[in-house]
Amino acid sequence: MDNSDSSQNTLVSVRNLTFSRGNNKIFNDISLDFERGKITAIMGPSGTGKTTLLKLIGGQLYPEKGIITVDGENVHRLRRKELYELRKRMGMLFQSGALLTDMNVYDNVAFPLREHTHLTESMIRSLVLMKLQAVGLRGASLLMPNELSGGMARRVALARAIALDPMMILYDEPFTGQDPISMGVLVLLIKALNETLGLTSIIVSHDVCIFIIQPKTMWMIYYPLENGIEVMLGYAIANPTYAEQNFS
Amino acid sequence: MMQFLQNLGASTRTSFTKLGRATYFLIQTLAGIFSILIRPRLLMNQMFSVGVLSFLIITISGLFVGMVLGLQGFYILSDFGAEESLGIMVAASLVRELGPVVTALLFAGRAGSALTAEIGLMKATEQLSGMEMMAIDPIRRIITPRFLAGFLSMPLLAALFSAVGIIGGQLIGTGLLGVDDGAYWAQMQTQLDFYDDIINGVIKSVIFGFVTSWIALFEGYDAIPTSEGVSRATTRTVVNSAFSILGLDFILTALMFGDN
């Protein structure tokens, strides 16, 4: 993998992206790459459009200008069906967990499997319990989402995100509002998933705890003050040698 | 003056964009119907929560409305010595007007507001975006079954309302006020027309079901994803549904019974 050219190593590439919400220009001509099989972190203060970037990558929002490709496919040029096919290979962990509140934990994790596969119920059962085991919540399979703590809900959501064995997971602020212990559990989980399943992980966070994960690449998004008016501009600083320098 | 014109223009534009969004939403919802036919279980679950759970309120309201009609009708008809016509009076009022209209109003209050709140909260808690990211179309999975359930439940509930109302009228008319039982039913049988009265009433309730479900689901889907946004959307559902039901009822009545 190391010797192959950069386009093969890049799973997600963002080129000359411009995006505004109303009159606020959130991204102005930014370009960044996300390496295949690695953890990439995006940091920046809140309101800089980190979550927006994830939604753009997932095809939920459309850019004004620029191209976003995921696994070689231009996300915003795909037809609806093709986009959905691509999304089956992506998992996303929402800030709130986004669990379906009318189903228990087991059914939540089984939900994408039941919708997208024709597996038998016994097969689904083994898969679901395996995924729940991976996040350490096998015993909680019969609880309803409102009976879970914030950290547990996020772990269940993680189990659901990996249910279809995606090639990449987008994490939206996974550490917000977590106590140190469940944060530690999540950090270990994200690392373990990345290593054992070879997932590409993109983590968005404003929390410095992201350093514990030792991402391969770190992108900073910030906005400068121009003439005293806050102008939302996206800038990206790449530091690919970051991991080597500091941790390994 | 300019300011007024600007505001007028802006609010007109907002209303039309919303109408456009609502129409697009409806088209997407209807496009999902085929996928529901393959999975009737989704529809059945919604029929239960939208239809079956509205059973009690519809039955009790129908009974009381029928009883009131029996009382009022009797007092007016007895002035003309026409108490025997109580049956047809109660049945025609219920089947043509009160059945579809009152059922639709109750339905908007009971099931419509619940649908808006449910969808609005699903949006606020990112469940809908979550589904989209799992490559599951939330309109097909969540909206279409609820829409179909509302659309199919309404005529059934309206029929139930009318039937219970007629029994309520009979309880009061023949049981309490001494109208002849045979006359009550016989007048109804001879004078109530299947096509003119019953089918027209059913058409009304089908249209009300369509409109109420559409409004309720769209308001939820279009709600601002905050507690306040959802609460406003729920209010809008009830208010807009009531307006549309009553307005449409007038138009439909004029079209159906205007030439008599």
pLDDT at A232: 34
Classify residue B3: in a domain, yes or no.
Answer: no
User: Chain B residues with CB-CB distance to A under 8 A?
Assistant: 122, 125-127, 129-137, 141
Classify residue B17: in a domain, yes or no.
Answer: no
Confidence bin at A234 (pLDDT 50/70/90): very low
Task: Give residues 159 to 198 of A whose Cβ lies within 8 Å of B.
Answer: 160, 164
Alpha-carbon distance B52 to nearest alpha carbon in chain A (angstroms): 18
Confidence bin at B37 (pLDDT 50/70/90): confident
Determine the straight-line distance between the first and last CA of chain B, rounded to whole angstroms. 48
Please check the confidence at residue B252 and state whether its pLDDT lies above 80: yes
Nearest to A94 among B130, B135, B141 (CB): B130
Alpha-carbon span A12 to A57, nearest angstrom: 8
Helix (H, G, I), strand (E, B) or coil at B39: coil
Q: Is the full-model pTM beyond 0.80?
A: yes
How high is the mean pLDDT of chain B? 92
Confidence bin at A1 (pLDDT 50/70/90): very low
User: Residue A219 — φ and ψ, nearest 5°?
Assistant: -110, 135
Pairwise pLDDT comparison (A223 vs B59), residue with the higher score: B59
pLDDT at B38: 84
Confidence bin at B73 (pLDDT 50/70/90): very high
* Structural domain that includes position B248: 43-255
Alpha-carbon span A93 to B143, nearest angstrom: 23
Confidence bin at A8 (pLDDT 50/70/90): low
Please check the confidence at residue A223 and state whether its pLDDT lies above 70: no
Confidence bin at A222 (pLDDT 50/70/90): low
Please check the confidence at residue A242 and state whether its pLDDT lies above 50: no
Quick one: how far is CA B205 from the chain centroid? Answer: 6
Would an 8 Å CB–CB cutoff place A90 in contact with chain B? Answer: yes
Helix (H, G, I), strand (E, B) or coil at B164: helix
Classify residue B55: in a domain, yes or no.
Answer: yes
Alpha-carbon distance B212 to nearest alpha carbon in chain A (angstroms): 24
Classify residue B38: in a domain, yes or no.
Answer: no
Percent of chain B predicted with pLDDT > 90 = 72
Please check the confidence at residue B223 and state whether its pLDDT lies above 90: yes
Q: Which residues of A touch B126 (CB under 8 A)?
A: 94-96, 98
How high is the mean pLDDT of chain A? 78
Please check the confidence at residue A13 and state whether its pLDDT lies above 90: no
Classify residue B2: in a domain, yes or no.
Answer: no
Confidence bin at A32 (pLDDT 50/70/90): confident
The residue of chain B with its CA nearest to that of A61 is B129
pLDDT at A7: 57
The answer to whether the CB atoms of B129 and A115 lie below 8 A apart is: no
Pairwise pLDDT comparison (A242 vs B120), residue with the higher score: B120
Task: Give residues 27 to 56 of A whose Cβ lies within 8 Å of B.
Answer: 55
pLDDT at B61: 95
Alpha-carbon distance A89 to nearest alpha carbon in chain B (angstroms): 9
Alpha-carbon span B93 to B76, nearest angstrom: 14
Pairwise pLDDT comparison (A207 vs B250), residue with the higher score: B250
Q: What type of residue sits at position B214?
A: W
Q: Which residues of A touch B127 (CB under 8 A)?
A: 98-101
Please check the confidence at residue B42 and state whether its pLDDT lies above 50: yes
Could you write out the three-class secondary structure of A126-166?
HHHHHHHHHCCCHHHCCCCHHHCCHHHHHHHHHHHHCCCCC
Q: Which residues of B touch A99 (CB under 8 A)?
A: 127, 130
Of B207, B215, B222, B111, whose CA–CA distance to B151 is shortest?
B207
pLDDT in tens, A56-77: 998 888 888 889 999 888 989 9
The residue of chain B with its CA nearest to that of A98 is B127
Count the domains in chain B: 1
The owner of tokens 């939208």 is B50
The answer to whether the CB atoms of B137 and A115 lie below 8 A apart is: no
Beta strands in B98-212 (DSSP E): none
CB pairs under 8 A between A and B: 51
Classify residue B19: in a domain, yes or no.
Answer: no
Classify residue B185: in a domain, yes or no.
Answer: yes
Confidence bin at A208 (pLDDT 50/70/90): low
Please check the confidence at residue B220 and state whether its pLDDT lies above 60: yes
Nearest to B135 among A96, A116, A157 (CB): A116
Classify residue B15: in a domain, yes or no.
Answer: no
| Over residues B194-216, mean pLDDT | 92
Alpha-carbon span B99 to B154, nearest angstrom: 10
